[in-house]
Amino acid sequence: MRGTRRTVLALAAGLAAVLAVAELDARGAGRRLWYPLWVSVVGARTHDQVLAELRPRYAPRLREQARSGGVAYPPARLALVGLKQERRLEAWMPAGNGWHLLRSYAVLAASGGPGPKRREGDLQVPEGIYRLTTFNPNSSYHLSVRVDYPNDDDRREAEAERRSSLGGDIYIHGRAVSIGCLAIGDEGIEELYVLLSDVGLPRVKLVLAPSAAPEPSAGDAPWVGTLYARLRRELAAVRGPLP
- Of 154, 208, 155, which is closest to residue 181 (Cα–Cα)? 208
Sequence-ordered strand ranges (E) for 108-213: 128-130, 132-136, 144-147, 171-173, 182-183, 204-209
The whole-angstrom separation of Cα 116 and Cα 2 is 60
Query: How high is the pLDDT of residue 41?
Result: 62
- Give me the chain's average pLDDT, please: 87
Q: How far is CA 76 from the centre of its chain?
A: 20
Backbone angles phi, psi at 69, to 5 degrees: -95, 5
CATH class assigned to 47-239: mainly beta
What does the pLDDT look like over 216-241, one tens digit per residue? 998 899 999 999 999 999 999 999 98
Q: What is the reported pTM? A: 0.83
Residues 127 and 118: beta-carbon distance below 8 Å: no
Residue 37 is predicted with a pLDDT of 60
Q: Which of 140, 137, 147, 155 is nearest to 47 (CA)?
A: 137
Calpha distance 22→17 (Å, rounded): 9
Question: For 178-218, what is each residue's pLDDT tens digit?
Answer: 989 999 999 999 999 999 999 999 999 999 999 999 999 98
87-124, pLDDT tens digit by residue?
Answer: 999 999 999 889 999 999 999 999 999 999 999 999 99
Q: Please tell me the total number of residues recorded for the chain in this structure.
A: 243
